[in-house]
């Protein structure tokens, strides 16, 4: 019952898939942003695991930067959401179809 890298990769893949489902499924933009966080986190686990199993720090570095990126994204994303909400009073993405075709 040794836990190998494969376990982590599978876990990461499953979490990533959950994130994908969330991204596709959510109509509430805020909740949709949650799902994108899951995607990045899923990757982070794998990075840390790989880093651990091959004994290399680059993976952790990558994960570190991903966390930074996720944080920045949240800031900008929320900023965008706020202006959108201020202008329309909604954060439902089904309302966002003024451009199409």
Please name which of 59, 17, 61 lies closest in space to residue 42, comparing C-alpha atoms.
Answer: 17
d(CA 72, CA 84) in angstroms, rounded, equals: 18
Q: What minimum distance in Å lies between the beta carbon of 83 and another protein?
A: 5
For residue 99, give the 3-state DSSP assignment: coil
Binding residues among 65-94 for another protein as defined by CB under 8 A = 65-88, 91-94
| Phi/psi at 76 (5° precision) | -65, -45
Binding residues among 7-66 for another protein as defined by CB under 8 A = 7-52, 54-66
Question: How many residues line the site for another protein (CB under 8 A)?
Answer: 97
Q: What minimum distance in Å lies between the beta carbon of 10 and another protein?
A: 5
Q: What minimum distance in Å lies between the beta carbon of 92 and another protein?
A: 7
Packing angle between helix 5-25 and helix 29-54, nearest 10 degrees? Answer: 170
């Amino acid at each position: 019952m040794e836990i190998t890298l494969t376990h982590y990769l599978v876990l990461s893949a499953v979490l990533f898939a959950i994130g994908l489902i969330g991204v596709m499924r959510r109509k509430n933009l805020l909740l949709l942003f949650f799902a994108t966080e899951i995607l990045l986190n899923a990757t982070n686990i794998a990075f840390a695991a790989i880093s651990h199993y091959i004994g290399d720090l680059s993976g952790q570095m990558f994960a570190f930067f991903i966390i930074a990126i996720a944080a920045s994204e949240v800031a900008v994303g929320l900023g965008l959401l706020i202006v959108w909400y201020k202008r329309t009073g909604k954060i439902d993405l089904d309302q966002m179809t003024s451009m199409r075709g």
